[in-house]
Amino acid sequence: MKKPWSISTTTRSPYRLREQLKVLADNFINLEWTKENQINFQISLIQHRLYGHNEDTGFSNQFLNGLSEIHKEIFTDFSHDLTFKEAREIFNSKNFTDPSMRGRQTFALFKKFGFVRLRNKVLDLTSLGKIFLSDNYDLSDIFFNVFLKWQLPNPDNKGYKSSYGYDIKPFIGVLHLINKVNKNSLALGEKDKGMSKAEFSLFGPSLVNFSSIDSYAEKIISLRKKLKGKNKQDQKIIFEEYRIIFAKEFLQTNDSVKIKKFLKNLKDYGDNAIRYFRLTRFIYIRGNGFYIDLERRRMVEIDALLNFYNAQSKTFESKEKYLDYISDISLPKLPWETKEKHIEIISRLVEEIKSYEEVLQKEHLEIQDYLNLGEDELKKYINELRTYRRLLQDEENHKNSQDVGSVESYIQRLENIFSFEDRPILLEKLSSLGLHALNDSLKIQPNYPVGDDNEPTFTAPANTPDIECFYKSFNAICEVTMLTGRDQWFNEGQPVMRHLRDFEDKYSDKKSYCLFIAPKIHRDTVNTFWTAIKYEYEGRSQKIVPLSIEDFVLILKILVQIKAENKFLKHDEISRLYDEIIDSSKSFADSGEWLKNIPKTILSWQKSIKF
């Protein structure tokens, strides 16, 4: 039976993918990929809590179900370093019908993306895999390179045969589909807004042949015509009826069980595809997160790509040739890698930069005489201009954040954070914007990767602070998490203190704080911070301020009141608030009581603010 394509539902986070790949590289490279080693790989992931636990959502109930109380206790107790023997006991207790299949399933994504190879059944880390594990990897470049080449069918996957109708490079096919929908919309006098997430989830993963791109675009336009002018309830009914009819046609069955499963899978596959494709910087999220569009700031590259590739799969002489191709980051040569296209990209960047400069009333950047630069110099200059554009975008964020309406919108979204998708990313973004709004910071630097629109494509990597903040008289980092259980302590306790110590050492000319924001602070997390505040971490005490989202919102609400009175909150007042929260720990013998008292400290600070 024909099925939709899927990137992965096993590992949704590219950073978790990297951590799992490191376990594979450290323990199994140059070994024969036997069933025993497949099992041992999965056991190793359990040992490192890279399976059965997600850094964003916490423990998997599905994984914990069936474990003995002892196994649950040691797996969820992060103060306990799991041994391989204990992890094996946990794995064996699951009584998997095909134990080695678990390791193969997790491994499949690394092979699919070209990070590893099997040569005569022996595991090898490819050059692409080595780049992914290096200190200076670029997440966007890696996944753009992967998705540019990933195709169905391919010689390494027998599940998607051309005889079943597969002939697609999914990423390029999606770009073509969005582009075609936009063109059709404009021809009808409608706005070119890309595809809604609901449309994408239905039509994106089910686009399995490049020859269907035009007909799929027509289906989307036809569906929109049926929905136009209807109220929300009627639209919901019409769309659901359409989904069922579409599923029957795709699957060639009336089996309601299969149809229900197919439609559920499409939602999961679509959400995950958006998450991964967004990393390439070629996909733009618009319409308050409800629409997926082409990144208009990369249209020189996108137009060149769509003109060069029709999304049809390539033919390879052998599986080895295909795996060589997909794991070689130098291939293929990009259709915009010409002097003419580079100059066009720079020209558009310069115009965009000038627009930002005018809005921000900044002196114009001196532009190089790029017409006479060589190709490598042009590529370097493009990167420099994009870096400068992000600085301007951050300045624009700071400027916009000073408006009361903006702060109120941050508050509203923070108070309703659990109603949004991709909550960890949103919390980092809103925390960054809230810090922009507070006062006269010199620089607020979120470390999450961004698209050309300066919107986060994913959360900050694990080896850096989530947000770095620079002020005239002090500096700070901000760490955020949506975790609320004991895994919060495991993921954030030591790493937060380590990030702060590294930051303190790097910027030793000023005192440094750490602002820690979560829906609520777990007792083990606050106890860890309590020790670092009152005693020491690596020989010196630290300034850590734990705030619930509610506490942070309270500070922003105070800011709104201040702005309503046409007053300005200076950064030294925020420093004083941080100090008062930290110093108040001396009044309590118990960390829990100190944490409960923080809102009172904030309200007391409000009354004493000097303007």
Which band of pLDDT confidence, cut at 50, 70 and 90, is reported for residue 56? low
Rounded CA separation 540/136 (Å): 30
What residue spans define the domains of the chain? 14-134, 162-326, 339-393, 402-607
Annotate 467-534 with DSSP letters as a single string: EEEE-SSEEEEEEE----SHHHIIIIIHHHHHHHHHHHHHTTTSEEEEEEEESS--HHHHHHHHHHHH
Mean pLDDT of 540-547: 97
Which band of pLDDT confidence, cut at 50, 70 and 90, is reported for residue 422? confident
Q: Which two tokens stand for residue 543?
A: 């300034």
- Characterize the bridge pairing of strands 544-548 and 511-518: parallel
Q: What is the pLDDT of residues 435-459, one digit of tens each?
A: 999 988 999 999 999 999 999 999 9
Q: How many Cβ atoms are within 10 Å of 490's Cβ, its own excluded?
A: 21
The CA–CA distances, whole Å, from 119 to 114, 116, 324, 580 equal 13, 10, 11, 61
Look at 43-52, 462-471, 477-486, 487-496 and tell me which has the smallest mean pLDDT: 487-496
Query: Average pLDDT of the chain?
Result: 94
> 547 and 556 in contact (C-beta within 8 Å)?
no
Q: What is the pLDDT of residues 359-374, one digit of tens each?
A: 999 999 999 999 999 9
Neighbour-count burial of 3, counting CB atoms closer than 10 A to its CB (0-12 exposed, 13-18 middle, 19+ buried): middle
Which band of pLDDT confidence, cut at 50, 70 and 90, is reported for residue 55? low
Fold adopted by 402-607:
Restriction Endonuclease (3.40.91)
Q: pTM of this prediction?
A: 0.91
Q: Does position 278 have pLDDT exceeding 90, yes or no?
A: yes
Percent of the chain with pLDDT over 90: 89
Q: What is the pLDDT of residues 78-130, one digit of tens each?
A: 778 999 999 999 999 999 999 999 999 999 999 999 999 999 999 999 999 99
- For residues 505-542, one letter each, b for 16 or more C-beta atoms within 10 angstroms of the residue's C-beta and e for the rest, the string is eebeeeebbbbbbbbbbbebbbbbbbbbbeeebeeeeb
Q: Does position 302 have pLDDT exceeding 70, yes or no?
A: yes
> For residue 282, what is the DSSP state?
-
Query: What pLDDT, on a 0 to 100 scale, did the predictor assign at position 410?
Result: 98
CATH architecture of residue range(s) 162-326: Orthogonal Bundle (1.10)
Q: Does position 566 have pLDDT exceeding 70, yes or no?
A: yes
Half-sphere exposure of 368 (CA within 13 A, CB side): 15
> Residue 91 contacts by C-beta under 8 Å, 6 or more apart in sequence?
39, 42, 43, 46, 99, 102
Rounded CA separation 112/108 (Å): 6
Query: What pLDDT, on a 0 to 100 scale, did the predictor assign at position 494?
Result: 87
Q: Does position 220 have pLDDT exceeding 90, yes or no?
A: yes
Q: Does position 1 have pLDDT exceeding 80, yes or no?
A: no
Angle at 571 between CA 471 and CA 402, to 5 degrees: 100
Ramachandran area for residue 120 (φ above 0: left; ψ -120 to 50: alpha; else beta): left
Q: Does position 588 have pLDDT exceeding 90, yes or no?
A: yes
Angle between helices 404-415 and 375-401 (to 10 degrees): 90
Closest alpha carbon to 10 in 101, 90, 139: 101
Q: Does position 287 have pLDDT exceeding 90, yes or no?
A: no
Selected residue with higher pLDDT from 409 and 15: 409
Q: Which two tokens stand for residue 436?
A: 């922009």
Across-strand partners of 168? Answer: 152
H or E, element range at 157:
none
Query: What pLDDT, on a 0 to 100 scale, did the predictor assign at position 57?
Result: 66
